[in-house]
Amino acid sequence: MTYQSAPFPMSRPRRLRQTDWMRRMVSETMINPDDFIYPMFICEGTKISDPIQSMPGVNRLSIDMAIEMANHAANVGIPAIALFPYTEKNLKNSECTEAFNPNNLVNRATKAIKAAVPDIGIMLDVALDPYNSDGHDGIVRNGEIINDETLLALEKQALVQAEAGANILGPSDMMDGRIGIIRQALENNDFQNITIMAYSAKFSSSFYGPFRDAVGASGALKGDKKTYQLDPANSNEAIRMIERDISEGADMVMVKPGIPYLDICQRICKDINVPCFAYQVSGEYAMIEAAAQNGWIDRNQVVAESLLAFKRAGCTGILTYYGIHMAEILDSPI
């Protein structure tokens, strides 16, 4: 519906901006801790909090420390965490067998956190790249990522993650058909209540570099991921991938990276009307941190503005490394 506003001075839009209480009262978009999934990197050992150089303020945590962090996240109102393992090189191979080891790092961490903090949701990636000696999300044969063979590995990985107690599985591999394979496997093995958040619009982006450092995948990658991740130039293709994954049994979808792809988020939320999450990825985090540490921007203001942008675009929630920090300060003026 369109209308013609009264002419100035009868119409003075600044009346609604004059005071803090008025601005808060008419605000169209809000963020709160319920909007966040907090990503965490885990590693072997005890009492370890290992700083990630390319992500200042983010550490790899041993399981005992991850339990403490998960408990803190729950206490500040964050509903779910996402766990990503740092896999030692000796555990990586071309068959990615550690991915479906029931006692691998991420599965042990899931069990331990679930036992200690039962009320927080746990999301796990279904993808082979942390375990692949080639650094790819799929099994590589003669330089080619083999789609259907990868699906068999992903199916086994999803089942051991479900058995470990994961609440949300996040297939992030971008192989064709993986949502249907995983959903059917979950149904057949009495895991009907496991939620799938599909990385449906995962773009072949240059914003992932620090993440690959965090999980120890940087040096392993041979070539690039353009044969399976989306072309950053394509929005219609992203919508087709969303529709495909929903048709195969995904409950929620994700756009990754975040801020550079707000147009995709908005199209999903407007035209498909399915719960849509965005991942404010490592490169986005690293840029904000670098500018903030140099005094060029106000960290809290910029982070809050970026998170509001996701919500304004229609996102249900955001995976963000700022989740705990923002949850702690949301009750205070930013």
How far is residue 281's CA from residue 163's CA, in Å, rounded to a whole number?
A: 28
Of 115, 228, 119, the closest CA to residue 164 belongs to: 115
Residue 256 known to be catalytic: yes
Active site residue 114: no
Residue pair 54/209 in contact (Cβ under 8 Å)? The answer is: yes
> What is the Cα 4 distance to its own chain's centre?
42
What single-letter amino acid sits at 200?
S
**Cα separation of 69 and 183, whole Å?**
30
| Region at 230 (left for phi over 0; alpha for psi -120 to 50; beta for the rest) | beta
Q: Which of 256, 144, 280, 261 is nearest to 198 (CA)?
A: 256
Select which of 114, 202, 225, 311 is catalytic.
202
Using DSSP bridges, classify how beta strands 317-320 and 36-43 pair: parallel, antiparallel or unpaired: parallel
Tokens of 86: 């740092």
Query: Residues 287, 289, 294, 299: what is their CA dihedral angle, to the nearest 10 degrees?
Result: 110
Residue positions annotated with a catalytic role? 202, 256
